[in-house]
């Protein structure tokens, strides 16, 4: 469903007053990138010598380290935490795309909106409901931004090869996690959303605007499907380490846009 047009929210002109620049790395920027929301898993890769610190973002944006990991096929993959919330995540993605990142996988968690989605279950979004502001600066106003079908198929195929059960469906991207009311959750669930998070819609729109391809590998974290919120101690999920490993491999299954 199309939303009312607002000329102040989207301008298709790619020539903006400020052009994103890539942070300098000790090695060339790879075209494969994982946006990982698991600080402890990035640290674990580095501690066991599987990731090397190649640069950092500015302190104003959190100073997150940019790590390089050699995938099983030998290609380097950039891995970093992109910051919480759509504006921060897209800022970091923009700068990575300025360095040449074109095949991107988001690796993170999301709140379960449907009953029976146990903590740690893998979720591959097929699209994201745009309940945030950033995506509207990268794409005309529509209700949902879709994930490229080929990207969804690549991620689902990889999980099937590794015998990892997954759920597919829409995700609800919101700027306001403390305004996830019962009525809002019910409406999004009726719309086909299986999880809720804060970045996917904006990242999808920004990647497409810049000619990159992006998919998401999420796991069901806290639970919003019942009458009360259940945190489920979601940051302790065993799925986090496996999901990052899968995300690194998955970047090699995505073909760059023509």
DSSP 193-241: EEEEESSHHHHHHHHHHTT-EEEEEEEEEEE-SSSS-B-TTGGG-THHH
In a domain, 17, yes or no: no
Q: What is the mean pLDDT of residues 156-182?
A: 96
Q: pLDDT for 184-212, tens place per residue?
A: 999 999 999 999 999 999 999 999 999 99
Q: pLDDT for 31-81, tens place per residue?
A: 999 999 999 999 999 999 999 999 999 988 888 999 999 999 999 999 999
In this prediction, residue 8 has a pLDDT band, given cuts at 50, 70 and 90, of: low
In a domain, 7, yes or no: no
The residues, ordered by sequence, that sit 6+ positions from 116 with a Cβ below 8 Å of its Cβ are 225
In this prediction, residue 10 has a pLDDT band, given cuts at 50, 70 and 90, of: confident
Smallest CA-to-CA distance from 105 within 29, 210, 207, 238 is with: 207
- 223 vs 255, higher pLDDT: 223
In this prediction, residue 20 has a pLDDT band, given cuts at 50, 70 and 90, of: very high
In a domain, 183, yes or no: yes
Q: pLDDT for 122-160, tens place per residue?
A: 999 999 999 999 999 999 999 999 999 999 999 999 999
DSSP helix/strand/coil, 135: helix
Q: What is the mean pLDDT of residues 105-126?
A: 96
The CATH number covering residue 64 comes to 3.40.50.1580
Report the C-alpha gap between 255 and 246 in whole angstroms: 16
Q: Which helix (H) or strand (E) holds 173?
A: strand 166-174
Q: State percent of the chain over pLDDT 70.
A: 96
In this prediction, residue 24 has a pLDDT band, given cuts at 50, 70 and 90, of: very high
- Token readout for 150 is 């080929």
User: What pairing do the DSSP bridges indicate for beta strands 213-223 and 103-112?
Assistant: parallel
In this prediction, residue 241 has a pLDDT band, given cuts at 50, 70 and 90, of: very high
In a domain, 14, yes or no: no
Number of domains in the chain: 1
In a domain, 106, yes or no: yes
Q: Buried b vs exposed e over 17-48: b needs ≥16 C-beta within 10 Å? A: eeebebbebeeebbbbbbbbbbeebbeebbee
User: What pairing do the DSSP bridges indicate for beta strands 76-80 and 103-112?
Assistant: unpaired
The residues, ordered by sequence, that sit 6+ positions from 196 with a Cβ below 8 Å of its Cβ are 110, 111, 113, 171, 172, 173, 174, 177, 180, 185, 188, 224
In this prediction, residue 109 has a pLDDT band, given cuts at 50, 70 and 90, of: very high
Q: Residue 185 forms beta bridges with which residues?
A: none
In a domain, 237, yes or no: yes
Q: Considering the chain, what is the average pLDDT of its residues?
A: 94
In a domain, 8, yes or no: no
**Residue 92: half-sphere exposure toward Cβ, Cα within 13 Å:** 31
Which domain covers residue 210, as residue numbers? 32-253
Q: Please name the residue ranges forming H helices in the chain.
A: 39-47, 86-98, 149-161, 182-191, 200-209, 239-250
Examine the pLDDT at 235 and tell me if it is beyond 90.
no
Q: Residue 123 forms beta bridges with which residues?
A: 167, 218
Smallest CA-to-CA distance from 24 within 80, 71, 66, 52 is with: 66
Output the pLDDT for position 258: 46
In a domain, 176, yes or no: yes
The torsion angles phi and psi of 11, rounded to 5 degrees, stand at: -125, 120
């Amino acid at each position: 469903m199309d939303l009312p047009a607002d000329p102040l929210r989207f301008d298709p002109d790619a020539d903006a007053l400020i052009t994103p620049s890539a942070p300098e790395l000790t090695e060339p920027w790879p075209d494969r990138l994982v946006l990982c929301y698991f600080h402890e898993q990035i640290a674990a890769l580095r501690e066991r010598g599987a990731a090397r610190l190649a640069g950092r973002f500015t302190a104003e944006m959190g100073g997150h380290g940019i790590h390089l990991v050699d995938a099983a096929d030998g290609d380097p993959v950039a891995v970093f935490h992109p910051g919480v919330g759509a504006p921060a995540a897209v800022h970091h993605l923009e700068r990575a795309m300025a360095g040449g990142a074109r095949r991107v996988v988001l690796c993170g968690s999301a709140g379960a909106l449907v009953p029976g989605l146990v903590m740690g279950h893998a979720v591959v979004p097929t699209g994201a409901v745009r309940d945030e502001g950033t995506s509207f600066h990268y794409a005309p106003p529509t209700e949902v931004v879709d994930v490229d079908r080929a990207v969804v198929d690549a991620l689902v195929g990889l999980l099937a090869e590794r015998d990892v059960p997954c759920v597919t469906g829409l995700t609800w991207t919101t700027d306001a996690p403390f305004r996830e009311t019962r009525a809002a959750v019910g409406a999004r669930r009726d719309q086909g959303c299986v999880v809720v998070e804060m970045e996917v819609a904006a990242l999808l729109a920004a990647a497409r605007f810049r000619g990159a391809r992006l998919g998401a590998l999420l796991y069901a974290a806290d639970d919003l499907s019942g009458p009360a919120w259940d945190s489920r101690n979601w940051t302790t999920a065993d799925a986090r380490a496996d999901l990052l490993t899968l995300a690194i491999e998955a970047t090699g299954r995505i073909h760059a846009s023509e």
